[in-house]
Amino acid sequence: MADQDRTEAVRITSLPNGLRVVTEAMPGLATTALGVWSGAGSRHEAAEEQGLAHLLEHMAFKGTARRSALQIAEEIEAVGGEVNAETNTEYTAYYSRVLGSDTGLALDILADILNEPAFDPIELKREKGVILQEIGSYEDTPDEVVFDMFMETAFAGAAIGRRILGTPKTVKAQNRGSMRDFMDRTYRTPSMVVSAAGAVEHDQIVDDVARRFDGFGREAAPHAEPATYRGGEQRRQRKLEQAHVVLGLKGLSWRDPDHYAMHVFSNLLGGGMSSRLFQEVREKRGLCYEVYSFFSPFSDSGVFAVYGGTGDVQLTDFAPVVLDTLAAAAASPTEAEVARAKAQMKMSLLTALESPGRRAEQMARHMLAYGRVMPRSEIVGMIDAITVDDVRRVALGLLTSVPTVSAIGPIKKLLPFDTIASRIGAPSSAHP
């Protein structure tokens, strides 16, 4: 074991096989949140594998060589714990929450489901049916569908733009062999992290992980297909009560030092009740119930967008007001707005870090992204250093990209694409 570091209460150990273990003891807590994060998400799938990472997550708790699905549930719940998993665009996480004294059991179960998944054909058939139902249910939720439409359009033809759930065709096509091949190809120790926070004993966790997690490949996993932002539009006229609209632009990656400034701009534009969008679109004009902006950075790209749900009649005014508010905020953020947005960011960050689950997740993501855990003081310092000029610069930079528009519902009155682009001064097509 080597490369042991300390940052605040964080301890990091790299095992000989390349797997990294990161922990933070949080005094006063009796519980531990821990998990295994693999840097393999939906963007690491081939086209014919779409939805495979998500299916693999579902199958994780459906039995191993040593435990049935029922035994997994009974063992963890017998100690009052819980176990779950999630699939993201760039990673998959398997995690548990238990009393500190039961950390060894949780690690044993997590190691079991990752080292020796049974992929039983009967369970696989059943779980495919569950996911097909999930896809069907999802299609009935337009305020979620519109975000997948947005990503499909922003990154047209690229893996990062595909739906995490997959399609009925691709989900049905998966089998035991395809799942094993995906794990063998992407679940490699250089891109895996075991993270724990709360009532933890670092050395004990390291010993447990070293004994239980030695079966993964040690060579680096293949790189994901690059995320090439394209922009464009996708519209679906559908008989609904509301029109759901996402208007977006090319953002920054989390590797870009300006990404914190872009978060600040997102907060001041549409991050709270005092934000420009909330005040202008909802409070002053009553054009919608929900409107907000968001910034989603990835390892090599990002998106910045505004979402709103509004009625057919209000849509005529909704889009112009949103676009004019975006352009005005980019051109003239104020000192007070930037200070307020920075305070919101710091409060959100520090509040999240009081939760062992959120802290374990953040540490894992930092390790996958930066190879270290950024200290709270460093992050707060970077936020504090952001100036009005920084925010204006990154905001105006947004307006140089081709827009992405996705909309579903009664959307006939939504502005044409070229009008949307010209309204904020952005180009309507990619530069040659």
Report how far residue 345's alpha carbon sits from residue 351's, in angstroms, rounded to the nearest whole number: 10
Q: How many CB atoms lie within 10 A of CB 237?
A: 13
Kindly give the interhelix angle for 69-78 and 103-115, rounded to the nearest 10 degrees: 170
Question: Among 57, 127, 152, 361, which one carries the catalytic annotation?
Answer: 57
The yes-or-no answer on residue 57 being catalytic is yes
Under the phi-then-psi rule, with left for phi > 0, alpha for psi from -120 to 50, and beta for the rest, what region is 409? Answer: left
Place of tokens 């952001």: 386
Give the pair of three-digit tokens for residue 151: 């990503």
Question: Can you tell me which residue has the tokens 């952005």?
Answer: 426
Phi, psi of 382 (to 5 degrees): -65, -40
| Beta pairing, strands 31-38 & 82-87 | unpaired
CB neighbour list of residue 410: distance below 8 Å, 6 or more residues apart: 237, 238, 239, 240, 242, 243, 311, 312, 315
DSSP 280-342: IIIIIT---SEEEEEEEE-SS-EEEEEEEEE-TTTHHHHHHHHHHHHHHHHH---HHHHHHHH
- Taking the C-alpha atoms of residue 43 and residue 162, their distance in angstroms, rounded to an integer, is 8
The token pair that represents 48 in the structure block: 């014919």
- Just list the catalytic residues: 57
